[in-house]
Structure 1
Amino acid sequence: MFAAPAFAQTTVPDQAQTTPAPDAATQDGGDIVVTGSILRGGDTGVSPVTTLTTENLDRRGINTVQDAIQQLSSNNGAALTNSFTANGAFAGGASAVSLRGLSTSSTLVLFDGLRAAYYPLADDGSRNFVDLNTIPDDIVERIEILRDGASSSYGADAIAGVVNVITKRKFNGVSGRAEAGISEDGVAANQRLTLTAGTGDLDEKGYNAYISGFFYRSEAVYNRDLPGVFGTDDQRSIGGPNGILNGRDANGAIGAFDLGSTLYIRPGTTGRFQILNPTAGCKAGPSISPTAADLAASATLPTSNICQEDFTNQYGVVSPNIERFGGSARFTAKIGDSSEAYLAVNFQQNTSSYTGFPATIRGAAPTGILFPQFSTASGAANFAPGSAILTLPVYVCAARVNCTAANGTLNPNNPFAVAGQTVQLVGRSPTGVTQNETRSRVYRAAFGIGGTVFGDWDYKVDATAMHTDLRRKQNGYVYIQNLLNVIADGTYNFVNPSLNSAAINNYLTPENITDASSDLYQAQFTVGKALFDLPGGPLQVGVGGSIFYEAVNAPSANPDINGPTQRYFTINAFGTEGNRTVTSAFGEIKAPVFDQLELTAAGRYDHYSSGQSNFSPKFGAKFTPFRQLTLRGTYSRGFRIPSFAEANALPTTGYVTQQISAIPAAFLAQYGANCRPDNSAGCPTYLTAYSIGQTTLASPNLQPEKSRSFTGGVVFEPLSNVTLTVDYYNIRKTGAITSPSSAPAIAAYYAGAAIPAGYNVIADAPDVNTPNARPRIAFVESQLINSDTIKSEGIDFGANTYFDIGAFKWTSNLNASLILELSTTFPGGRRETYVDTLGNFNLTAGSGTFRWRGNWANTFEYDKVALTGTVNYTSGYDLSAMDQGDAYADCGQAPGYTGCRVKSYITFDMNASVAVTDKFTFYVNALNLFDRLPDVDPVTYGAHLYNAVQGGNGIFGRSFRAGAKFGF
């Protein structure tokens, strides 16, 4: 990333750029308060700080703050991207940063140094975070990323670092922009409009006021829009077993029978299935007919017409529809000769929507509270004992129970009713696909006054209020009881679903609307004073206090309080509610002992109304033996408070892919002699397309996670226009809140052994084709505990140069992060390490921990023309994950048809701009100029066959964007 520190700022950032950030040097009357300090000019290079300005983001062709933060080299693994939220993420519609790979809950996001309301939905149903999509792009002045622990300044959540979004302090005139972009293949279209108007001069008139508004839209991208294997279930081009659902493999054989949106039946409870309506044929996709040899080789294939349904190509979504708009206003005024006050208000609406697969009309419902396992054991009518296969009765009647020839009629959906035979029905909803939409509305106001009193006392008082309304709309999901009702009374036409009325379709899949909210109210003050002079300068002391209230109210979108069937298939049951008040006191001291040595110390005490408290100290030192060389280092302790979801929430269920290679041969043998760990092609899709639900149970007795971190860095400036930085970090988090690894419980179930204490394993519905085999696992339940020790260690590198040769200027910024270790140590000493693998799989959705991330940007300017080229790099990784039962880098998660590694990913972006006049600039972006696509990853489940964190927007291929901006 580019960085643009002000000349007055002596902080040496991760990257340097000599163009000053507008207004930065005059913030608060001359010196600025850098993120991580409460003193003016307080952090003068002790901690590593990255500064991003909107000017430099423009040069790189990055058009949202969310994208800029996601592309930070220090952002790793467990980040939450917009593309992942279109693939079943708990926190749908949101985006979050994960510095140092320590998850979204260990990075604190601030607005103008104040806390922000959490997104109402938790990441993975457990981790609180601030949604990056709620940042008002049009009024952002700069973004400061403190790559160091900062609990001593800000309290909880700042273990891995802080992202501080700083908005414009003042604006005079009128400015705006209009831009639009699209990929070379005609997808991923996006548009942005902004307009800002301000008046008043703070110095001459004593006030400034501005208003601003923006609109942003990006269109959904579907898998069918992507090339090659990324757009299809047909994996034969990469050596995969079955081509598409129920298709022929590379050897010409038909794969195991699986279920699509075409409905199949079989009389009784045994035998082969057949299409319910053979005249209509397949609902989606062509059909193939099994040969006599096919039927002889498999007792599970239907008698005829096997439908090939390419789910990924027909329904898969890469990125959701996103639409954002909002407005902001700020009034700033001088108060006397030495103070300044402001009032700022913001509103923003963000809508994210996408479609899914055809709805499930058979299967186990997600784990709930009162009825954690839904099956016929609960007495639900029309379900076969011990399974979730629907049974169509012989007779239907208005009473829906005890239907006979006397009070009902033969079931029109059961072609065997006339023979007095029930049938079993399998398949997905044939009448449409699921639809999901999240709409968040964010309201924020902030007020503050600061300056100097009593001659030399600096003071600042700030207050903020932020409220988020979140509405989730879900359509197309089958409501279980309504499904049972229409089966029993025969009002739904399964034979010819197109004849069903809108009313009956809506009855079967009623719209599900769930409202959630979050709140944050904060007031804080700081005072500071230079006490006396030391040989290196004045000794500064600052103290402050804060009180804030935070709350989340996110009810379950699929509660089971009314009974086991009074809910939807497949909608997760998670939800949480809670509130707390936090009071804090903090202080800081800066002592320039002499010209070459500066020492800092800070501490903060936080007390929570929920009973927890914590003291967080921090110490820093900067030594400059000569002007060109600076040595710096910090030591701090921090904490993360248990989230509302971790302490008080309904069970949450995440899904992880179960590889055939990790299932014992003895278990697989039940599904045929050819079904082996080394031969997935011989196994039914029931096992090859298999994910285990990992259900997390909250615990109100959790304690805060504690952290210890230190940094050590070198800043070398051999020339005034060349800066080289190297910063080492080491973070250890103890008492980490986690659910125990599910591996012991999974291994015990497969082996037929007793399930270990602390776990509950719930079996899935049996395979419809092998009903007598021991079923696969549906869910593994375990309760959150303070248990583990997590360590993150690495090195950040920066190389920044600026040359001005007459009319020609060259700026170069190289930024890279190397993770040396990311590991978890469990009680008893067992250790899992994740760098360069898919781990921490449970934390990252299998997106892994990249050893290297970095970018190198070069800007060439001549007269009115500027050209910027940026190389983006993310390293590859091994297809293994120790938290999935593998040894380190043993390729244990790789299916047999792929190699052991996913390759590194490199893209190149180009941006050109022309200042037509001093008031008008035209620009063109070429993103992923060389049309590079990420390597195939068959294991990561946040996207289809690629890693969404590694691939980012590069998956869209070569894209272009053009725009114009003006300012008067």
Structure 2
Amino acid sequence: MKLIGKYSALSVAAALASMSTPVLAQTDQAGVEKIRVTGSYVRGSETSEANPVSVFDTSDIKNLGAADVSEIIAQISVSSGAENRPDTFTSFYSQGTSNVNLRGLGLSSTLVLINGKRQTISGAKAQDGSVFVDTGSIPAIALQQIDILKEGAAATYGSDAVAGVVNFTTRKSFDGVRVEGSWQTTTDDSQIDRNLSILGGFDIGNDTHIVLAGTVLRRGALNSRERPDLVNRAFSSLGSSFSVSEDVVVADGPYAGSYVAGENVAAPNCSAFGGTLAAQPNGERCTYQYGVHYNVVNEEEREQVYASLNSEFSDMTLTVTGMYTQYDVIDNPTPPSFPNLTFPTISGDHPDNPFGVDVTYLGRPYPFLSRESSLPAPRENDTFRLEAELSGVVADYDWKTSIAYSANDYSITQPDLSPTLLDLAIAGFGGESGNLRYNPFDPLDEDNLLIQDWAATAFSSETSTSLIVWDGVISGDLMDLSAGTASFAVGAQIRHESYEVKPDDVSEIVIDENGVQLPNDFLFLGGVNAVDESRNSYAIFAEAEFPLADGLDLNTAVRYEELDTASSFDPKIALRYKLTDGLLLRASASTSFREPSLAQFYAKNVNTRGIQDFVLDANGDFVRDENGQIIPRGSTLFVRETQNGSLELSPEEATNYNFGVVWNGDRLQTRLDYWRVDYEDVITIEDANGKLQSDPDGVDIIRLDPSDPTSELTGVITNYFNAETIDASGVDFEASYQWQLGNGDLELKTSVAHILEYEIPLNGVTTDVSGLFNHNNFARSMPETKGNISVQWKNDQHSIYARLNFVSSYENTRVVPESTGLTTHIESYAPVDIQYRYNMEIGEGLAEFTLGVINVFDEDPPEVYDAANFSYDPKHHDPRGRLIYARAAYTF
């Protein structure tokens, strides 16, 4: 067993000298209910006004005009590189989900809580293998507020809280019934969202209150044919082409010509099925524009229900909360066939072979571009949560115990074709009758269409996760000191989590008796292995707060966590100094960790990745041009990437520092924070592009002919591993200013997050990758600055709100071809939103009408050269353009 934690002299000295406890007390809209937000269990903490926490309350949520939680999370300044608008192409395993990525430190490095308690991870995974909590499973109508704790919090919450914590607090009280409907549409085309929600709360006697809520969302599709500029480089070099095995002369017919061994030959009727001719180093190919088959926004159906019971009896309070989300991706089109990555050899005696010699098939069986030829690839995503908390007071000590159960089922279906059946068809034994022959030299051949349905297959898999968490906490006064009363909290936690992957027979990865992975019967897709694993963890923690002098408070916390494969001891210490009534200083130092996920330990999956291959010589070395630059081999090619889990993984470790200055005046409130994270043993998947570039003929680089490094690239094997370090730092700034204007109040607010550095090892050299697109390393695209500024005027009836969102420019790490007309510079993005809201009494209730425009000036997402992927960055930019929305609500 490995004990992890940081005990260096520097961290201990920093901890003893300076730290602040992250706790904040906020009021609800009525200014009555006190809500303790994320960070501390100590009762009556004096550090409540000075901590790195941002709060989104119900008013903020209304102002954003968000249709769901994912659109709220997308506006968080300190979240960088999350997938709240995942594109339908690169988000193969995670469509219909959303997540948060504080500090850009990874989807798995932010702890997501609901009512202060853990939530199971989604069965979906990001393309880089990251697991995450699906924030889209939380019904927005039930939210009271969202707290973003922007520093490591392992001492309080345990594993995963490396970058910080996001806590979703749901409603426990509401009087009356609120019915709300909304409608939203793009102005350039017809993508429409419709949302109907109902929220009700009532007493049922005996000091018991119930809250019920439900939401129905219907999201319309936005197909890329309506936005071709977003997919104008989504081309594959595998449309319909061949590589001849020897020198040959074709005397007549559409393939007439002289060819040399290894030359690429494009199908002569390339344009008839939507292909485009493209030159290659050794001939030309018929390429294929697959991007027009995909959606920019998928058609989705979502139903969410929520219930909460709050009851007081015998000096105790019982709170029970449950929620369920069913989220289906309906219209998720894909091309009629993918490229045949088995690269079959068509014999010279095939009746349709015009060459008379063996040729390698470099293409897809059905390269059609019509929308009707697209095939559906649905996703189903179901999440359930039930939690119960019992709290009370005994002998002046507060106590609380809770248990929470959450589960997710994520199912994926992706159509493909069987190479086994196609090989039979190429040999003349295709179709139900067994006598049809597939003609790869003319994709429009009538018999080919009869074979399509017969050869159809699909990848299908369901991943199920679950989590049971018990928490117990006791807090109260510890002792009287000359400067005041010291307080404490102690507690324990037990967790049990499970992870199960259930592929169908066709989709399961099978290992033979020699340990060799057998290929799945797919042209393009790969498979996943069956997994059924679970684990337990146990933790105890203690926290104390000491008033050292007038205005000076010290907070300390320690947590010991026993894991299946390791254990962790994490301290945290804080100092807060209030210089004046409005000005205070704070600083913190702590350690944090993240346990490898069960998926990273046990899961194996094969997906596809766009990879740029390069021209190699017979020795496997790069061929370079006259300027010494390595020569690319054609365009980006999608090949199979096998991602392997590893039982050798160790927990990630981090040391976190935070220093802040806070000013709270009558009208002006500001917070300025400097943060730093020294992150070690970061778990990531090897980058396939980077691996190919560093060792193009390595053992994990799979080519059509394993003995010939000049042959076609067919796959890359990548593994999870503990990377060396991430040394990241930055500054956050928040400010608000309020004053009275006319018969209302005017408020100006801003929130800015700026990354100073994000250093990682690249090829043995420590490199700052902030401000870069990062296509060839484990970091995600990372603009240095993200922020917003808003202004709102409101009174009892009217509210006018405007907001400028800003994402700074950054640099592309890909080599951008001159033919694109682009440079490596990715422009900044600054859309403007406006909203008007009006309240009026109707009958016995209150009506609320809202009109808003998102991206008023219809700013396009910055164009990004991402090889054969979509032409924008979905991790930072919204492709939908201008949207208008209307919302009406009635509360009675």
TM-score of Structure 1 vs Structure 2, range by shorter chain:
0.7 to 0.9
Alignment partner, residue 907 of structure 1: 831
Unaligned runs of 5+ in 1: 1-9, 235-243, 246-257, 365-387, 395-410, 882-890
C-alpha distance in 2 between matches for 1:141 and 1:271? 75
Matched, 1:47 2:26: no
Q: Which of 684, 696, 699 is the aligned partner of 2:646?
A: 699
Aligned partner of residue 123 in structure 2, secondary structure? coil
1:381-433 deviation line (CA, Å, top 9, x unaligned)? xxxxxxx2342685xxxxxxxxxxxxxxxx7xx3359x987776543232744
Written as runs of structure 1 = structure 2, the 5 A alignment for 1:13-412 is 20-22=27-29, 25-26=32-33, 31-42=34-45, 44-77=48-81, 79-124=82-127, 126-200=129-203, 205-226=206-227, 229-233=229-233, 258-260=237-239, 282=271, 284-285=273-274, 300-301=283-284, 309-312=288-291, 314-336=292-314, 338-353=315-330, 354-364=332-342, 388-391=343-346, 394=349
Alignment partner, residue 258 of structure 2: none
Quick check: 2:149–2:165 contact (8 Å CA) kept in 1? yes
C-alpha distance in 2 between matches for 1:117 and 1:481? 39
Matched, 1:595 2:550: yes
Matched, 1:469 2:409: yes
Q: Which of 555, 561, 569 is the aligned partner of 2:510?
A: 561
Quick check: 1:124–1:652 contact (8 Å CA) kept in 2? no
C-alpha distance in 1 between matches for 2:79 and 2:321? 30
Matched, 1:947 2:873: yes
Written as runs of structure 1 = structure 2, the 5 A alignment for 1:776-925 is 777-825=713-761, 830-839=765-774, 841-844=776-779, 848-862=781-795, 864-880=797-813, 897-917=821-841, 919-925=846-852
* Distance apart, 1:857 and its partner CA: 1.0
Distance 1:265 1:696, change over 3 A: closer
Matched, 1:449 2:428: no
Quick check: 1:178–1:963 contact (8 Å CA) kept in 2? yes
* Distance apart, 1:863 and its partner CA: 5.2
Distance 1:13 1:676, change over 3 A: farther
C-alpha distance in 2 between matches for 1:115 and 1:792? 26
Residues 130-139 or 916-925, more deviating? 916-925
Alignment partner, residue 761 of structure 1: 701
C-alpha distance in 2 between matches for 1:772 and 1:586? 58
* Same amino acid, percent of matched pairs: 21
C-alpha distance in 1 between matches for 2:689 and 2:324? 46
C-alpha distance in 2 between matches for 1:213 and 1:748? 52
Distance 1:277 1:508, change over 3 A: farther
Quick check: 1:269–1:424 contact (8 Å CA) kept in 2? no
* Distance apart, 1:457 and its partner CA: 1.0
Aligned partner of residue 688 in structure 1, secondary structure? coil
Alignment partner, residue 428 of structure 1: 364
Matched, 1:932 2:840: no
C-alpha distance in 2 between matches for 1:706 and 1:123? 22
Quick check: 1:125–1:574 contact (8 Å CA) kept in 2? no
Alignment partner, residue 732 of structure 1: 678
Q: Which of 479, 482, 492 is the aligned partner of 2:421?
A: 482
C-alpha distance in 1 between matches for 2:448 and 2:694? 49
Distance 1:748 1:158, change over 3 A: closer
Distance 1:259 1:192, change over 3 A: same
C-alpha distance in 2 between matches for 1:696 and 1:357? 24
Quick check: 1:559–1:567 contact (8 Å CA) kept in 2? no
* Distance apart, 1:826 and its partner CA: 7.4
Alignment partner, residue 497 of structure 2: 550
Aligned partner of residue 273 in structure 2, secondary structure? coil
Quick check: 1:481–1:565 contact (8 Å CA) kept in 2? no
Quick check: 1:631–1:714 contact (8 Å CA) kept in 2? yes
C-alpha distance in 2 between matches for 1:421 and 1:746? 32
Quick check: 1:531–1:538 contact (8 Å CA) kept in 2? yes
C-alpha distance in 2 between matches for 1:961 and 1:429? 43
C-alpha distance in 2 between matches for 1:611 and 1:298? 51
* Distance apart, 1:873 and its partner CA: 0.5
Letter in structure 2 aligned against 1:851:
E
C-alpha distance in 1 between matches for 2:95 and 2:839? 40
Quick check: 2:128–2:685 contact (8 Å CA) kept in 1? no
Distance 1:586 1:735, change over 3 A: same
Letter in structure 1 aligned against 2:802:
G
C-alpha distance in 2 between matches for 1:351 and 1:674? 50
Alignment partner, residue 403 of structure 1: none
* Distance apart, 1:335 and its partner CA: 1.3
Aligned partner of residue 211 in structure 2, secondary structure? strand
Aligned partner of residue 421 in structure 2, secondary structure? helix
Residues 268-277 or 902-911, more deviating? 268-277
Residues 505-514 or 848-857, more deviating? 505-514
Distance 1:822 1:287, change over 3 A: closer
C-alpha distance in 2 between matches for 1:939 and 1:287? 19
C-alpha distance in 2 between matches for 1:107 and 1:944? 27
Aligned partner of residue 849 in structure 2, secondary structure? strand
C-alpha distance in 2 between matches for 1:616 and 1:897? 52
1:540-571 deviation line (CA, Å, top 9, x unaligned)? 11111111101111245733428845421222
Q: TM-score, normalised by structure 1?
A: 0.79
Distance 1:878 1:316, change over 3 A: same
C-alpha distance in 2 between matches for 1:70 and 1:638? 25
Aligned partner of residue 283 in structure 2, secondary structure? coil
Unaligned runs of 5+ in 2: 1-19, 256-264, 513-517
Aligned partner of residue 733 in structure 1, secondary structure? strand
Distance 1:597 1:659, change over 3 A: farther
Distance 1:934 1:837, change over 3 A: same
* Distance apart, 1:638 and its partner CA: 0.7
* Distance apart, 1:574 and its partner CA: 4.0
C-alpha distance in 2 between matches for 1:64 and 1:271? 62
Specify which structure has the higher proportion of strand: 2
Residues 346-355 or 278-287, more deviating? 278-287
Quick check: 1:12–1:715 contact (8 Å CA) kept in 2? no
C-alpha distance in 2 between matches for 1:298 and 1:163? 51
Residues 479-488 or 114-123, more deviating? 479-488
Quick check: 2:690–2:777 contact (8 Å CA) kept in 1? no
C-alpha distance in 2 between matches for 1:52 and 1:937? 31
Quick check: 1:637–1:709 contact (8 Å CA) kept in 2? yes
1:845-868 deviation line (CA, Å, top 9, x unaligned)? xx5211100001111125522111
Distance 1:41 1:926, change over 3 A: farther
1:45-77 deviation line (CA, Å, top 9, x unaligned)? 453111112321211222322111122110113
Aligned partner of residue 599 in structure 2, secondary structure? helix
Distance 1:144 1:840, change over 3 A: farther
Distance 1:633 1:270, change over 3 A: farther
C-alpha distance in 2 between matches for 1:271 and 1:552? 58
Q: Which of 680, 692, 696 is the aligned partner of 1:746?
A: 692
C-alpha distance in 2 between matches for 1:279 and 1:738? 44
Distance 1:487 1:622, change over 3 A: same
Aligned partner of residue 870 in structure 2, secondary structure? coil
Letter in structure 2 aligned against 1:453:
V
